[in-house]
Structure 1
Amino acid sequence: GASTSRFYGENIQQLCPGCHVEVLSQDSGIRGCWFRCLILKRHKDKIKVCYLELQDADETENLEEWVMLTRVAKPDQLGVRFLGRPMVRPQRVEQSKASCFDVGAIVDAWWHGGWWEGIVLCQVGSGRLQVYFPGNFLFL
């Protein structure tokens, strides 16, 4: 709603070169993954970012690209994320302790260099969960 938009609007205004952010991918194969980035430059509503875990096509350097701060994510297949959410967010603060998640909980799980949006399906052992990632139809 309006409060969510206002929250993101205020945070986006504070993003500047040197800030760490996460950018949501909507590309096939990595859809629904938030990748950690460093802002290199800013021009109005665009930022140039350097991905910390993604390399360019030559795999010689980290990928850099311009990202529109006003671009919003497409709705997810299951409708669990709010509509109109931006594709750039401030980098999350790492939690030092494990959390408990109920079946059906919406989670971001660290996997292959990014935070993947998923849903907890079941517990599969002590402290292990099976998570479904709807962006790529993956079960882990």
Structure 2
Amino acid sequence: MAQFKPGERVEVNSNDRGFRGSWYAGTVVRREAKNTNRYVVEYDQLYADESGEKLLQETLDWVQLRPPPPPPEKKVQFKVEDEVEAFYSDGWWEGAIIAEHSGGKFAVFLRGFDEQIVLEEKDLRLPVQWVKGKWEPRFEQVQREKEVS
């Protein structure tokens, strides 16, 4: 079971309808005293009110949390058919690159939205998995690196 400390940066996964496959940035506020595998997290960009003045806080199970992924060790050369996480609508969403545009932009199909959008390279990252306390590349990424080598 993961243990996160107050003030620690995390990403939150939601299984709520319309949010599957997304990760949102936040900070651990505290661990619950009665149920120690639950944490109160304050989101960076999701708000509790319509005015956008009060950040949303939620109590979440530890399995919904992970540390933010580390930056890539080397510059990623994205290409068509790459599986990616795309920053859109205040969170990171699962998707796939379906076309390359000029100026470092890519058309990405976002599964959670069932639509295509064009994003800049800075808004894309290769997906990784948090497994047993360490980051591991997804299968597609391992296969891609073998092809490049």
| Fold similarity call, TM over 0.5 | yes
Residue 41 of structure 1, aligned match among 6, 10, 30: 30
- Determine the structure 1 residue equivalent to 2:137: none
TM-score, length basis structure 2? 0.65
Residue 129 of structure 1, aligned match among 106, 109, 128: 106
Number of aligned residue pairs: give it.
113
Bigger relative CO (Cα 8 Å, ≥ 6 apart): 1
Largest Rg, 1 or 2: 2
Query: Is 1:62 aligned to 2:39, yes or no?
Result: no
Q: What RMSD, in angstroms, separates the aligned Cα atoms of the two structures?
A: 2.2
What are structure 1's unaligned runs of at least 5 residues?
1-8, 71-86
What are structure 2's unaligned runs of at least 5 residues?
118-149
CA distance in 2, matches of 1:37, 1:132: 25
Measure how far apart 1:127 and its partner are.
Answer: 1.6
Q: CA-to-partner distance for each residue in 1:103-137, whole Å, 9 max, x for gaps?
A: 22111112232212211112122421111111120
1:1-140 aligned within 5 A = 9=1, 12-13=2-3, 15-43=4-32, 44-58=36-50, 59-70=52-63, 87-94=64-71, 99-140=76-117
CA distance in 2, matches of 1:68, 1:121: 34
- Determine the structure 1 residue equivalent to 2:133: none
Question: Retained in 2: the 8 A contact 1:31–1:136?
Answer: no
